[in-house]
Amino acid sequence: MTTLTVLLLALLGLNMNMAFSSSLIQPDWALALLLASLLAKRHNWFWVLPAILLHDVTLYWSLATVFIFVAMIPLAMIYLDQHLGAGLPQRLVLLVLALLAMMADGWTLQACLLTLCLCIPVWHLLTRQYAQQAA
């Protein structure tokens, strides 16, 4: 149920980005939700990565804008979890690297900070929800 909810909200966010892109500064709604889901549970990569590829094709008209950086996150999470243990600082660094890819594509600093401010609470909400489902 959580997967479907995140995907539908990401689709709605993608529509909002396309509808209001020139009129106001806004976060990348879809990317924030999908990154939050990936950071909350690394095993979500199998449905998050195709959704981010669709996001890139729809919003950026390119296959390799943010997708390349986000595709490295699950691999980096496995490596960092094995060597450092699961922790918040490593995941924050991975999140910031994904947002730097947004800035390299032309998003403003304000939009990237708004995306960060949206992603962190959703990430923690999803982490808590996944923990409750496991218990």
pLDDT tens per residue across span 80-120: 878 777 777 788 888 898 898 888 888 889 999 999 999 99
- Over range 63-67, report the average pLDDT: 79
Contact 14, 31 (CB under 8 A): no
pLDDT in tens, 21-54: 777 889 999 999 999 999 998 889 899 999 999 9
How much of the chain is helix, strand and coil, in % rounded to 5?
80, 0, 20
Return the pLDDT at 8.
93
- Output the six-digit token pair for 61: 């008209």
pTM of the model: 0.91
Number of Cβ within 10 Å of residue 27's Cβ equals 23
Q: What is the largest CA-CA distance in the chain?
A: 45
What is the rounded distance in angstroms from the CA atom of residue 101 to the CA atom of residue 103? 5
19 CB contacts (<8 Å, ≥6 apart)? Answer: none
Return the pLDDT at 70.
86
64: confidence class by pLDDT, cuts 50, 70, 90: confident
Return the pLDDT at 104.
85
Length of the chain in residues, anyone? 135
